[in-house]
Amino acid sequence: MRTLIKNGTILTAENEYKGAVLIENEKIIALGLINECKADKIIDATGKYVMPGGVDQHTHFSALCNVGNKDTAGYETTKSAVVGGTTTIIDFAPQDPWKGLIESIDYRINVRAKGKACVDFGLHAMVTYLMDSIFNEIDMLPAKGISSIKIFMAYNGSPLHVDDGSFFKILQKARNVGVTVFVHAENGEIIDFFRNECIKNGQTEPKYHYISRPPFTEAEGVRRAIYLASQTDTPLYIAHMTCRDALKELLEAKGKGIRVSAETCTHYLTKTKKALDNPDFNEAAKFICSPALRDDEDCIALWKALSKGLLTAVSSDHCGIDLSELKQAGRDNFTNIPNGSPGVGDRIHMVWTNGVVAGKISKQKFVEVISTMPAKINGLYPRKGTLEIGSDGDIVIFDPSYNGTVKLDDNPNGVDYNVYEGNKQIGRVETVLLRGNVVVENAKYVGEIGMGKYIPAKMFAYCYDLC
């Protein structure tokens, strides 16, 4: 099967030029000024951008959210991701209750995602039950194609929390096998103190979520995580950075030559803590995420950090937690509201609208932070994240002339709300190819549930190349 995309403007992290792309057997075999050639399918991309499919390195599909036994939205809802232009996710593989890293990874690949994923996917190992066996299991991650492991410094008292000593041991073990350590960097002990004080004082509304997680708790966590990683020379990747104080710690560390990188997320670029001030619980609860939303000035600082390369990626931190049931667990106590919001289907549109169209980042930087760098960071490049001969035929055809608003009905995400509902949207993903197969036409999913594949990663990925 040969597919030719012609007459479009090819957009990558480095270039922008008129040209065509030819795909055969799921791979790109030619691009640029292609002479007339035989193709089974021809797509005319006149007036459109042709860019690599998005890579979202931070998603939580089919994950237990600690309210009853209900999981977050499952892999069948990844069709929202691909309609939004993301063709590859790197999902988190939390340990199932009292199971090891490897057993949980195998179960996720062979049961949770198999026959359901609509996008290709890689995985991060994720520590959610700290037990002695996991340290030796880190040595086994390369054989599984897992190039990263995530730990949580926050959530004291829960199975998620990793103490500093265990964190240090994980850093040591990961360095030996070329695994990058991802970290949720917040001072969990101080946050617990603030949360408990709020509840004792009868301060139970959603807005106390951000009040109990002030920026300095994130900045201190970032500083401590960087210091520990510097002692082992292990590449560190800081998830979902949100604020100016934390950015200062990152900048200082990079200036010292410490191998640390970081991302932010779509909602931290486009939303502020004002959303939690809404007296309507249902509206405010949608925006409960950790770290908490910040101020307008922090949004501005994050965009500047992206533009200058201090931050290297924009992720969604997609977490499909419904409002009608799961978020209601915290109606009388904000500490019981499950943290997380959906967003994988809106990431590309929101970054284009609020970044490129608003003049905050270039088109090349856009492709870099939503596709190319996430692929490099996670050991999937150049198979994913770029348009090169030999790369997978993961391609987005993007219409920059579209002008509308975000509507959940246009791209259902598996839950009952969209935090970007009603937001202005300029530009739209019109057509998507996954490994050369057309899975989105006219902004609607036309693929088959379950056609996504597990993509093993290469070790010693991009972050190991940093000085």
pLDDT of residue 350: 98
Cβ 338 vs Cβ 326: under 8 Å:
yes
- pLDDT tens digits for range 25-84: 999 999 998 867 889 999 999 999 999 999 999 999 999 876 767 789 999 999 999 999
Over range 2-23, report the average pLDDT. Answer: 97
pLDDT (mean) for 327-333: 96
257 CB-contact burial (10 Å; exposed 0-12 / middle 13-18 / buried 19+): exposed
**SS in 3 state form for the chain?**
CEEEEEEEEEECCCCEEEEEEEEECCEEEEEECCCCCCCCEEEECCCCEEEECEEEEEEECCCECCCCCCECCCHHHHHHHHHCCEEEEEEEEECCCCCCHHHHHHHHHHHHCCCCCCCEEEEEEECCCCCCHHHHHHHHHHHHCCCEEEEECCCCCCCCECCHHHHHHHHHHHHHHCCEEEEECCCHHHHHHHHHHHHHCCCCCCCHHHHCCCHHHHHHHHHHHHHHHHHHCCCEEECCCCCHHHHHHHHHHHHCCCCEEEEEEHHHHHCCHHHHHCCCHHHHHCCCCCCCCCCHHHHHHHHHHHHHCCCCEEECCEECCCCCCCHHHHCCCHHHCCCCECCCCCHHHHHHHHHHCCCCCCHHHHHHHHHHHHHHHCCCCCCCCCCCCCCECCEEEEEEEEEEECCHHHCCCCCCCCCCCCCEEEEEEEEEEECCEEEEECCEECCCCCCCCECCCCCCCHHHHCC
Residue 335 and residue 205: Cα distance in Å, rounded?
9
| Angle subtended by helix axes 215-232 and 164-177, to nearest 10 | 50
Q: Mean pLDDT across the stretch 139-160?
A: 97
In the chain, % of residues over pLDDT 70: 99
Output 466 or 284, whichever has higher pLDDT: 284
Q: Which two tokens stand for residue 154?
A: 């926050």
Please tell me whether the peptide bond between 97 and the residue prior to it is cis, using omega within 30 degrees of 0.
no
What's the confidence (pLDDT) of residue 345? 98
> b/e string for 137-175 if b means 16 or more Cβ within 10 A?
bbeebbebbbbbbbbbbbbbeebbbbeeebbbbbbebbb
Mean pLDDT of 175-188: 98
388-422 tens-digit pLDDT: 999 999 999 999 999 999 999 999 999 999 999 99
Put simply, whether the predicted model's pTM sits higher than 0.85 gets the answer yes
> What pLDDT score does 50 carry?
98
Which domains, from first to last, does the chain contain? 52-381+456-465 (3.20.20.140)
Are 82 and 59 contacting, i.e. CB atoms less than 8 angstroms apart?
Answer: no
The pLDDT tens digits of the residues spanning 416-459 come to 999 999 999 999 999 999 999 999 999 999 999 999 999 999 99
Q: Within 10 A of 440 (CB to CB), how many other CB atoms are there?
A: 24
The pLDDT value recorded for residue 399 is 98
Do 462 and 377 touch, CB atoms closer than 8 A?
yes
Taking alpha carbons only, the member of 213, 157, 151 closest to residue 183 is 151
Span 214-262, pLDDT tens digits: 999 999 999 999 999 999 999 999 999 999 999 999 999 999 999 999 9
- 98 or 45, which is more confident? 45
The candidate with the shortest Cα–Cα distance to 114, out of 74, 147, 79, is: 74
pLDDT band at 190 (very low <50, low <70, confident <90, very high): very high
Q: What is the pLDDT of residue 36?
A: 73
> Is 20:9 a contact under the CB 8 Å cutoff?
no
The residue type found at 54 is G
